[in-house]
Amino acid sequence: MSEAATLAETEPRTVEHFDVVVVGAGISGVGGAYHLTKQCPGTSFVVLESQESFGGTWLTHRYPGIRSDSDLYTFGYRFKPWTGAPIATAAEILKYMGEVIEENGLASRIRYRHRIDAASWSSERKLWTVEATRTDTGEAVRFTANFLWMCQGYYRHSEGYTPEWPGMDSFKGRIVHPQTWPDDLDIAGKKVVVIGSGATAATLIPAVAGKCAHVTMLQRSPTYFRTGRNAIEIADELRELGIDESWIHEIVRRKILSEQDKFTRRTFTEPEKVTQELLGQVRAHLGPDYDVQTHFTPSYRPWRQRLAFIPDADLFQAIAAGKASVATDEIEGFTENGILLQSGKVLEADVVVTATGFHLNVLGDIRFAIDGEPLVFSDTVTYRGMMFTGVPNLAWVFGYFRASWTLRSDLVADFVCRLLNRMKDKGARKVTVALRPEDQDMPLLPWIDPEDFNPGYLMRGMHLLPKRGNKREWQHTQDHWAEKDELPAIDLDDPAFVYE
């Protein structure tokens, strides 16, 4: 077959136009769709999602025990009360999102199995052209849109990050990544080693402990955890009093946010005291003889990496019961039957789970071009982590590290809807953010300060991310407490916004 014939077959037959294309049907994209219907009635839009259903993170991850590590009062949307226990399973989160879709008639707005491969902006037409592939039929489909709302999350959904270790090929057992958990994996009677000690490992280990022969958490360095009951007392009390769920949602959100803000500030002002409190919780569960110094005392200040909440201390209970253990060591390499550590110790394993993180995926692995020139995202400067210099009619959602992601996706949605309405009022077809005269000499810095927050996937991918300036307008501050007031107050007639 000639090349021309192949091209003709993949050339899209139709082009559909929408005012807005939303990329991704995770918690951010479904929220975006909701806000568009409420705040921009009459705006045509479509949500394009490469997977077979909604949920994003909560659909992709199917490993045992998969659950949130932040509470659902704040991870849930502002507009739909959460009525269950604060830490929720993926199934519960999917049910909640399904209700949002059904209650608001959003199903017809979402097209599944549509993977966006490329997006190009034409200054002449003032339009984005979006090239997608239907993953079920392989058919190429094309859309045009005035505005792109990027809700593609921050990591590649198709596969997780697994480092290369010597001897992996010789290992006779199975190596699995939690992001692509095999349906046929039977752990009964098996020795399991989980590499990593982040939120994923902390969730998975209590879920498999007791179901396999033994599970070991193998970490290079320790992580901070917080423990507590998977319940919120005030929510239960208010429920007993018959208070309306929407009031309970709002009251509990405010209480959690206020407490989180105080806690986060304390990690900067009195890190040593906070460290001792966190380690005190661990000691209380593991007893005085356990080596908390080696296995649970990180070298960094609390909150420099995500701090996972362990409901009902289930991870520590599994360790205390002897069903799980911790090895703090470096990997020398794999052997046929396990993992050789730098200390010389060998961890025997039938199954190795690499809870080693993600591939950062800044723009949904979409090839972006502006007037035919490839977009180099790292050459842009971010406007409050939502827009980028030189990139017209595009907003993206990047949530918080230290607070629930959805708190920010709701705030960004309000901003996008306001911006779309402002463009309509002005009769503008294009909006770009641009450095103002007073910003021209501003030092440009990496997206995030590693002293502030430094998980592996961000450090590995920092060179791909836009730059930040040294003023709040030109940063993603990660400060929800301030942003909840700052974002709604953005002056859309500020010279940073250039309309055409």
Ligand X SMILES: Cc1cc2nc3c(=O)[nH]c(=O)nc-3n(C[C@H](O)[C@H](O)[C@H](O)COP(=O)(O)OP(=O)(O)OC[C@H]3O[C@@H](n4cnc5c(N)ncnc54)[C@H](O)[C@@H]3O)c2cc1C
Cβ(53)–Cβ(93) below 8 Å? no
CB count within 10 Å of CB 395 equals 23
Q: Given the complex with ligand X, which of 21 and 370 has the nearer CB atom?
A: 21
CB neighbour list of residue 493: distance below 8 Å, 6 or more residues apart: none
By CB under 6 A, tell whether 68 contacts ligand X: yes
Binding residue (CB under 6 A) for ligand X from 20, 21, 26, 381: 26
- Burial-class residue 187 by CB neighbours within 10 Å (0-12, 13-18, 19+): middle
Q: How is residue 466 written in tokens?
A: 């836009």
Q: Which of positions 219-258 make contact with ligand X (CB under 6 A)?
A: none
> Any idea of the CA torsion for 213, 219, 222, 226, to the nearest 10 degrees?
-40
By CB under 6 A, tell whether 75 contacts ligand X: yes
CB neighbour list of residue 260: distance below 8 Å, 6 or more residues apart: 74, 402, 403
**Least distance in angstroms from the C-beta of 27 to ligand X:** 4
By CB under 6 A, tell whether 303 contacts ligand X: no
Q: What share of the chain is helix, strand, coil (3-state, %, to 5)?
A: 35, 25, 45
Read off φ and ψ for residue 131, nearest 5 degrees. -105, 125
By CB under 6 A, tell whether 447 contacts ligand X: no
Pattern 80-119, ligand X, x by CB under 6 A: -----------------------------------xx---
Q: Given the complex with ligand X, which of 389 and 404 has the nearer CB atom?
A: 404
Binding residue (CB under 6 A) for ligand X from 81, 302, 364, 385: 364
Strands 373-374 and 367-370: antiparallel
By CB under 6 A, which span of 61-69, 263-271, 368-376, 480-488 interacts with ligand X? 61-69
**Residue carrying the six token digits 């590590």:** 69
By CB under 6 A, tell whether 49 contacts ligand X: yes
Q: Given the complex with ligand X, which of 22 and 218 has the nearer CB atom?
A: 22
Q: How is residue 143 written in tokens?
A: 């859309």
Distances, alpha carbon 465 to alpha carbons 94, 304, 398, 461, in Å: 30, 19, 12, 7
Pattern 367-406, ligand X, x by CB under 6 A: ------------------------------x-x----xx-
Pattern 259-288, ligand X, x by CB under 6 A: ------------------------------
By CB under 6 A, tell whether 51 contacts ligand X: yes
Task: Using CB under 6 A, list all residues that contact ligand X.
Answer: 23-29, 48-51, 56-57, 61, 68-70, 75, 115-116, 151-153, 157, 200, 364-366, 397, 399, 404-405
